[in-house]
């Protein structure tokens, strides 16, 4: 089906949801995952810090957090028995969607799995959508995984990549009949 699945991750609940789905797909198909985090350094520059402080303090802190995030994602895939690689990209030379699409092409991904907030209307217009840009420009199929409505923001990478709670299904129903629309 898809021997290589690229999964962009950050510390958001939609990213966790996307990773969970990618792990399930990889388990079912025997695929290998590539977890990618794009460090968008310029989005954190506010103009008040000195260049020295930015380079000496902020960038190293961002890199440590990004590496920890990738390691947490790797641990989740490893625990599920899924072969996984990680890649940290720096966003100096392109937007996050451009770098993800470029990485998918260079790695030979057959599918990109992206967690999304599922914003609509003015929220999407104002905030933009990396997921939408990936969908529009990717050379391979893209699976957008919407976060569940009950998802709450995570305070840390540890919370974002904690093992998911098992789904709750009413007694006497199956997942297929519970999710089927009549």
- Answer yes or no: are the C-beta atoms of 158 and 72 closer than 8 Å: yes
For residue 120, the domain's CATH number is 3.40.50.620
Tokens representing residue 15 in the block: 């990213």
More reliable by pLDDT, 31 or 168:
31
**Distinct helix (H) and strand (E) counts, the chain:** 8, 5
**Tens digits of per-residue pLDDT, 156-165?**
555 554 544 4
Count up the domains in the chain and report the number: 1
Question: What percent of the chain lies above the pLDDT cut of 90?
Answer: 49
- Answer yes or no: are the C-beta atoms of 9 and 149 closer than 8 Å: no
Tokens representing residue 132 in the block: 């939408």
- Answer yes or no: are the C-beta atoms of 37 and 64 closer than 8 Å: no
Task: State yes or no: pLDDT of 63 exceeds 60.
Answer: yes
Q: Has this prediction a pTM greater than 0.85?
A: no
**Tens digits of per-residue pLDDT, 76-117?**
999 999 999 999 998 777 888 999 999 999 999 999 999 987
pLDDT of residue 44: 56
- Answer yes or no: are the C-beta atoms of 31 and 3 closer than 8 Å: yes
Task: State yes or no: pLDDT of 172 exceeds 60.
Answer: no
**Could you list the residue range(s) of the whole structural domain that residue 50 is in?**
4-179
Task: State yes or no: pLDDT of 171 exceeds 60.
Answer: no
């Amino acid at each position: 089906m898809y021997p290589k699945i690229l999964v962009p991750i950050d510390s958001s609940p939609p990213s966790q949801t996307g990773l969970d789905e990618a792990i399930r797909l990889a388990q079912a198909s025997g695929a290998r995952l590539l977890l990618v985090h794009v460090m968008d350094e310029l989005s954190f520059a506010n103009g008040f810090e000195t260049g020295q402080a930015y380079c000496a303090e902020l960038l190293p802190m961002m890199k440590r957090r990004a590496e920890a995030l990738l390691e947490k994602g790797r641990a989740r895939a490893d625990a599920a028995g899924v072969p996984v690689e990680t890649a940290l990209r720096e966003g100096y030379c392109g937007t996050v969607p451009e770098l993800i699409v470029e990485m998918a092409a260079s790695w030979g991904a057959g599918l990109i799995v992206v967690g999304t907030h599922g914003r609509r209307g003015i929220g999407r217009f104002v905030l933009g959508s990396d997921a939408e840009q990936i969908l529009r420009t990717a050379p391979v199929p893209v699976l957008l995984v919407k976060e569940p409505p009950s998802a709450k923001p995570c305070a840390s990478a540890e919370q974002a990549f904690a093992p998911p709670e098992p789904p709750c299904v009413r007694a006497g129903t199956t997942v297929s009949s519970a999710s089927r629309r009549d």
